[in-house]
Amino acid sequence: MLEKGADLCKIAVTANDISDCARVLHVLQAATNPTIMLSMTERGMLTRLLAGKYGSMLTFCSTTSGKESAPGQIAVAELRSLYRFKSIENLTKVYGIIGNPVSHSMSPAIHNAAFKHRQLDAVYIPLLVDDVEKFLKTFDEFKFNGFSITIPHKEAALKCVDVVDEVAERIGAINTIVRLKDGRTKGYNTDWMAAIGAVERALLSLDPEYRRRQEAPLRIREDEGMERPLNGKHVVLVGAGGAARGMAFGAVERGAKALTIVNRTIERAEKLVGEMKSMGKPCECTAMSTAAFQAGEAGQFEVVMNSTSIGMHPNEGDTPVHSDLLRESMVVFDAVYNPRETRLLREAKGQGCVVVDGVEMFVGQALKQFELWTGMKPPIAVMEDAVLRGLKLK
């Protein structure tokens, strides 16, 4: 194009895999003339969002959501407000959420709000990743500063980092990657205490004296020195994936009397049960098929935790637990936060259960991520508000 006398080069390609974006960034870094280059499709969004960091003269966006003229375009208002596009420069630190799907995630909202509040030159972006090992290897040279890991990559990602936190190693899954000062990557699991802490607070809420001591129900508090209300409880955990690993570890670690892990594929549940038994804690761990659980074979239990995406938008009509298995004063936790009130929680509330939505866990794990990435105290209220606004609950 330059040989033909072009003053400006514009190149648009299709990203069939997010790793294809690396070639686009290489071309931009090597360009000596004004260049616009991007990858289309959702897998190519990072080239649009990081245009300013890697030297693309501009990017293309849509006027509003739903009015895209090419796949992967982002609405102009979202570029300006959510991602602070005009402030992204060469030295801007990059964080992102690795998952599939990721378009529903509130992680960009919660972390970008925190970065803005703390006046940090950083941006957090969605990364639609099919193969987490391939992505991390391909993009290691770009030295992104940190990642959140979500479904379905939490277990696979643990094998892709240079160092693993001791607790995350025991859990067997990570949801956080931190770029260390020496360039290596370290994996953590901030899911487990966020989920277990939310369930423990719900159990304590059955005590009238505890209820009187509390602030707003969503406000995250420190749990150090908190009682262990899971002691002696039978916990049913639905799911055996990466998120379930943290919850299973937490239930056993915090004193549950019994843990029943329910999964469609019984072999995965049995594998996780075996790992929980190896912790050496006095907890009776059992694997059970979904069909057996729905038939009532789990017996009496006080806590049920859904770690799966069943009931998540856009499949709000689905539920992982039949309502006739729920009873009054049972604590029912759902890791799904979009919608905030899932069918499971709605039916549990109707049965007189104490319900815990996924927002509290989501905020809790994000607070710890922010601290690990920045070394700063997270702005709790700002991060909570960002999620609630995103879910249109404020």
Handedness of CA 210, 362, 366, 84 (dihedral sign): negative
**Tokens 């159990």 correspond to what residue?**
203
Scanning 278-379, the segments in alpha helix (DSSP H) are 290-294, 343-350, 358-374
At position 242, the amino acid (one-letter code) is G
Parallel/antiparallel/unpaired status of strands 284-289 and 258-263: parallel
Parallel/antiparallel/unpaired status of strands 122-128 and 185-188: unpaired
Parallel/antiparallel/unpaired status of strands 146-149 and 122-128: unpaired
Handedness of CA 295, 297, 302, 304 (dihedral sign): negative
- Told to judge if 368 belongs to the known catalytic residues of this protein, a careful annotator would answer no
Cα separation of 122 and 125, whole Å?
10
Scanning 118-190, the segments in alpha helix (DSSP H) are 132-139, 154-158, 166-171
Spell out the long-range contacts of 56-63 with Cβ–Cβ below 8 A and sequence spacing 24 or more. Answer: 56/28, 57/8, 59/85
Closest CA to 244 of 259, 227, 229, 234: 259
Q: Are 167 and 196 contacting, i.e. CB atoms less than 8 angstroms apart?
A: no
Active-site entry in 53, 93, 116, 154: 154
Q: Are 125 and 98 contacting, i.e. CB atoms less than 8 angstroms apart?
A: no
Cα separation of 346 and 343, whole Å?
5
Cis before 152? omega within 30: yes
Q: Which residues are catalytic?
A: 154
